[in-house]
Copies of this chain bind each other. A is one copy, B any other.
Amino acid sequence: MLDLRKLEVFIKVYETQSFSKASSALHLAQPTITLHIKDLEQELEVNLFDRNTRKVIPSKAGKIVYRYGKEVLNILKQMEKELKLLKDEKVGLIEIGGSTIPGQYILPKVIKNFKEHHPNISVFLKVGDSKEVIEKVLAREIDFGMVGAVFANKDLVFLPCYEDEIVLIGPPDFTKDEIELEELYHIPLLKREEGSGTWKNFLEFLDKKGIDWIKLNIIGEMGSTEAIKEAVKSGLGFGFVSSLAVELETSLKLLKVVRIKNFTIKRKFYVVYPKMAKFLPVEHKFLDFIKSFSNV
């Protein structure tokens, strides 16, 4: 294996055309230079300089080694530059992931706010389902994720950071602001597909309350929160969605949130990151920011 120290010595000799000049430039004794060059020549089995006590002229092989050697040192310099950026807390890159609700309604706001404070830090957001997000965290493809469920994994830390409410929405012309729990059994409901985190949370909550969801009046299934919203808007029925997803529509009276007496469905979102990870400055900053944003 070639020695970079020796390569450095070689390059200095090449550039100064002198062993002694190289020695003083590198703060080494002159015999050290002689030795290093000799070692290199032995290792590579070529002579690098035609030399006597007066002249030092690079040979053909020397020119080749210089060309490649310079490239190698440049690449390493480039690397150190990139690592320096990594260590800098003012610039850098953060990659995060979010499952549907956090990815669509929470993280964009967090990021916008964060960017206002730290304009030179780029943030990349990847939206996918919770399982995907967690896998990417484990593979270090993203720095952290925000998901709606805790997965048992000893390598991961799940930090509650946002509490959301799942609300019943109906068309804006629905007369009541609040209904009794019993009325829920007669209201035409649009469910979400089985894999949905929101729907899972909803069912868990019903279960805790001792309610069997079979009793509900399910009239259809939608593939996304947005689809539920559109369907409810057009009067097809009612649905359960994250309150975050309907902030705009309720304020514009395009949808109506209908409360259920003595019945509030809360769900938590969690920041997830590898237990062992040693965070870089920028990542620390972002994590702290999310925590400060937290409502839990």
Contacts and interface: CB of A to CB of B under 8 A. Distances in A.
Interface stretch (A39-47, A98-106, A238-246): A39-47
A65 B50 contact: no
Interface string A172-196: 0000000000000000000000000
A222 interface: no
Contact of A47 (B8, B65, B79, B278): B278
Interface in A47-68: 47, 50-52, 55, 57-61, 63-65, 68
Contact of A277 (B2, B46, B59, B80): B59
A46 B277 CA distance: 12
Contact of A65 (B8, B69, B72, B79): B79
A110 B152 CA distance: 79
B75 A68 contact: yes
A97 to B, nearest CB: 15
Contact of A46 (B52, B72, B83): B83
Nearest to A283: B60
B86 A60 contact: yes
Nearest to A277: B50
Interface in A103-159: 140, 143, 155
A160 interface: no
Q: Give the number of times this chain occurs in the complex, counting copies.
A: 2
A214 interface: no
A68 B64 contact: no
Contacts of A4: 1-4
A51 B140 CA distance: 13
B46 A76 contact: no
B274 A57 contact: yes
Given A60-B86, A71-B75, A75-B75, A80 B276 contact: no
Interface of A: 1-5, 8, 44-47, 50-52, 55, 57-61, 63-65, 68-69, 71-72, 75-76, 78-80, 82-83, 86-87, 140, 143, 155, 274, 276-278, 280
| 8 A-B pairs with least C-beta separation | A68-B79, A50-B276, A47-B278, A4-B4, A72-B72, A1-B5, A50-B277, A64-B82
8 contacts: A1-B5, A2-B4, A4-B4, A44-B83, A50-B274, A55-B155, A57-B140, A75-B75
